[in-house]
Amino acid sequence: MKLFVYHTPELTPNGQVPDCAIAVDVLRATSTMATVLAGGGEAVQVFSDLDQLLEVSEQWPAQKRLRAGERGGAKVAGFELGNSPLDCTPELVEGRRLFISTTNGTRALQRVQDSPVVLAAAFINRAAVVQYLLEKQPETVWIVGSGWEGSFSLEDTACAGAIAHSLVEKSQSSQDDLAGNDEVISAIALYSQWQDNLLGLFHQASHGKRLLRLECHEDLKYCASTDILNVLPIQREPGVLKSQ
């Protein structure tokens, strides 16, 4: 297995797809997706365009759908949800499909949606992602951070490092054997420095600060929790993720 980390979707190689792609948007899209599926959601369907989301979701019965729209960290007017995983309680999401469009996370998923296997990862479901990789042993794995509007984000790269760090610990591979690019080494180093204070890292991150200004303190605490959900969001058709 060779692991490649890309800080943003824009940095992935053109015209290529890996055997397995992992989209990461810790704050907060992939954390929300994992939470919805762990709470019994039927599926999560992702969109970059809000108008397309509204058009497609109209084809579903109102009682079987939830619409989540977020831009700049804030909820889009007219949508039931923004991008807070804490709003996605089992009572609300069970049996329903979440139609979601966010500033960054949905772009990462759409960039890799042609890969044979597409997963969504965050700190909260890191262990489930690692277990899948250890069992399936895909030859090439991309971990694609969402970043913020095309630029690097601390929290997504730290999560990529958390996945890589755990793979090194649990497999017979060395860090050197596993790393397909230098970004893997840097991601592991970042995670290793902050693994005991991920919330502190979020407070240093530009998007973490943006969410703090929006009073999303509890969201940051939740998204900084590691390995609390045994759920693996996996793409079943382009743009549609279900629990494995």
Cross-strand pairs, 151: 148
- Is the pTM for the entire model greater than 0.85? yes
Instruction: Return the amino acid letter for 18.
Output: P
Tokens standing for residue 92: 């609300």
> What is the C-alpha separation between 211 and 115, in angstroms, rounded?
31
What's the pLDDT score for residue 103? 79
Q: What is the pLDDT of residues 53-64, one digit of tens each?
A: 999 999 999 999
Q: What is the pLDDT of residues 88-116, one digit of tens each?
A: 999 999 999 999 998 777 889 989 999 99
What's the pLDDT score for residue 61? 96
Sorting pLDDT into bands at 50, 70 and 90, what band is 139? very high
Provide the edge-to-edge strand list for the sheet that holds 20-24. Answer: 2-6, 140-145, 20-24, 117-121, 233-237, 240-243, 43-46, 97-101, 65-71, 74-75
- Between the alpha carbon of residue 84 and those of residues 76, 93, 100, 193, 218, the distances in Å are 12, 13, 11, 27, 10
Mean pLDDT confidence for 175-182: 97
Average pLDDT, the chain: 95
Contact 143, 3 (CB under 8 A): yes
What's the pLDDT score for residue 148? 84
Q: Is the pLDDT assigned to residue 143 strictly greater than 80?
A: yes
Q: What is the pLDDT of residues 199-237, one digit of tens each?
A: 999 999 999 999 999 999 999 999 999 999 999 999 999
Gap between the terminal Cα atoms of the chain:
21
- Between the alpha carbon of residue 69 and those of residues 66, 96, 100, 112, the distances in Å are 10, 16, 6, 21
> What is the C-alpha separation between 168 and 165, in angstroms, rounded?
5
Mean pLDDT confidence for 144-165: 94
